[in-house]
Structure 1
Amino acid sequence: MGHLSPFLALIVLLGTSVCGECDLGRPRGRILGGYEAPPHLKPYMASLQVDGKHVCGGFLIAEQWVLSAAHCLEDKHGKPFQVLLGAHSLSQPEPHKRLYGVRAEIGHPGSSTETYDDDLLLLQLEEKAILNEHVKILPFQRQDRDVPTGTVCEVAGWGKMSHTGKLPDKLQQVERPVISREVCNRRAHHDNTITEKMMCTDSKKKDTCTGDSGGPLVCNGIAEGVVAAGSRVCGNYKKPGIYTRIPPYVDWIERVMASAN
């Protein structure tokens, strides 16, 4: 058997190198399984930043307003948010990229660190955004009806490339099919925690991850949901992606925006 040892050593060596790349047990994160978005074709995307670093996503819903997730307030540790608009790369100079100060941060009064409920945040910019081909408002759904199961929607963000790794510099995107609330609420999935104000997408191998919270779920060109924050493990097919549906909150959104002007 001695003459086999170099062969066995080679097998062990190959096995180590291949499986070192696999890392099968841990989701890789980022927009998991996604790809770099075509530059500036999602001109509504916002990067919520603290001390010049991306912490959450968001999107422009009016000239002076960005919608995001209330849980993102936990990530700023008492420091002020700034909102980057017009960006594809977070670091490179781009013609219409601009950082805006935030005048007001209004989390939904029903939001809580304990649940996914009412996970919405409105940010009023210090001044109206300068609209151009790289900075545009995204319309949101006002009709309160569920997106049909199987509808393929898209989500984008600068979320982490792994649970411990660096954030990508350039905007990533992924397409995911909507799954029914009934399926999402199965015991093996989210066990009856998904309310009528939430929706879910399939998370098998492709998913949102840390840092994508607050970004829009866009179906047929309209924002239907907002990526919910929380401790869900990205890319775990048993834990579908959770989004806060926008239609049930249209009155709240419009009331907040109207009262601030």
Structure 2
Amino acid sequence: MLLLLLLTNAFVLLPWAGADEIIGGCVAKPHSRPYMAYLEIQTGSQTSRCGGFLIRPDTVLSAAHCVDKEGAVRVTVILGAHNIRGQEQSQQEIPVGRWVIHPEYSSAGTKNDIVLLKLKQRAMINKNVQCICIAKENERVEEGAECSVSGWGRISTRWDMTSDVLREVEMMVQNEQICEQVFHNYQCQSMICVGDEYSKKATYKGDSGGPLVCNKKAHGIVSHARKRNLFPEAFTRISHFEPWIHKQLRRFALQDTPGSPFSE
């Protein structure tokens, strides 16, 4: 019965529900995470937000559930931001031209929760806007590793007030068995178990799509947790999807080549 209650309380870090703060974290040093992307997602008259990160001057990596919506969806990426509502000269606002959701993504159990967003124009790389390396296929972050997560969001889980500045938190990678016990659809190969209840540190709604950074490399993507108990969380394991990511990046490059059968 307890396990059933835990499973029914599972939730995706849904952007339309509002973006709660990085739990137990602090305000990040301005522009200390130049790879961070703020996603503004327009669906009809509704606007939601998510996180993401720049892996190539024309490509942002994020969570599939951020853009998996009914109807016409428009996505705008803001790079180089600290205060997302401020008039910062460092900011670059770029519309997304197209995106590719993993073909085996499933909202049921939030499996293969990954999407590549192709920007309509290349970002200008400078001290405030930079790419981050992603984990390779054979790289696995181990239990006990201290990693960091960042995102924009509400300043409280109780008040509907959003934080305009980027926040960050240190989180520890957990033993896979912990997540297997609380998530019915947890998959060790494609997910990472992160966060423990003793530290009281977590991401929450709206932080979806942000990177789990370990040793200056993106190893995970904020994906889903439980509704009433934030610890632990299941992150998308980037190394498992690295071959697929590079295949899509090659397709993006071909689509940009005039006369290519893949060009638009």
TM-score w.r.t. the length of structure 1 is 0.81
- Aligned structure 1 segments of 4 or more residues deviating by more than 6 angstroms: none
Q: Please give the residue correspondences for 1:38-77 in structure 2 after superposition, counting only pairs within 5 Å.
A: 38-51=29-42, 55-74=49-68
Compare 164-173 and 34-43 and name the one that shifted more: 164-173
1:201 to partner: Cα distance: 1.0
The one-letter amino acid of 1:226's match is I
Is 1:89 paired with 2:87? no
Deviations along 1:41-75, whole A, 9 cap, x unmatched?
A: 00000011035955100000001000000000146
Query: Is contact 2:137–2:243 with CA below 8 Å preserved after alignment?
Result: no
SS at match of 2:100: strand
Flag the 1:50–1:190 CA change in 2: closer, same or farther, 3 A: closer
How big is the shift at 1:164? Answer: 5.8
Q: Structure 1 residues 151 and 121 mapped into 2: Cα distance closer, same or farther (>3 Å)? A: same
3-state SS of 1:30 partner: coil
The DSSP-based 3-state class of the residue aligned with 1:105 is strand
Query: Match for residue 182 of structure 1?
Result: 177
Q: Distance in 2 between matches of 1:98 and 1:245?
A: 28
Aligned match of 1:246: 238
Asked whether the equivalents of residues 59 and 216 of structure 1 are also in contact (C-alpha less than 8 Å), the reply is yes
Alignment check: 8 A CA contact 2:53 2:62 kept: yes
Match of 2:26 in 1: 35
One-letter code of the match for 1:209?
Y
Asked if 1:194 corresponds to 2:187, the answer is yes
Which residue of the partner structure matches residue 20 of structure 1? none
Aligned residues: 229
Of 48, 73, 78, which residue of structure 1 is paired with 2:72?
78
Contact 1:50 1:76 in 2 (8 A): no
- Extract unaligned runs of 5+ from structure 2: 1-18, 254-264
Pair 1:243–1:87, CA change in 2 (3 A)? same
Unpaired runs of 5+ in structure 1?
1-27
The 1-side partners of 2:73 and 2:192 are apart by 31
1:257 maps to 249
Whether the 8 Å CA contact 1:140–1:246 is kept in 2: the answer is yes
Larger radius of gyration: 1
Q: Please give the alpha-carbon distance, in whole angstroms, between the structure 2 residues aligned to 1:191 and 1:137.
A: 34
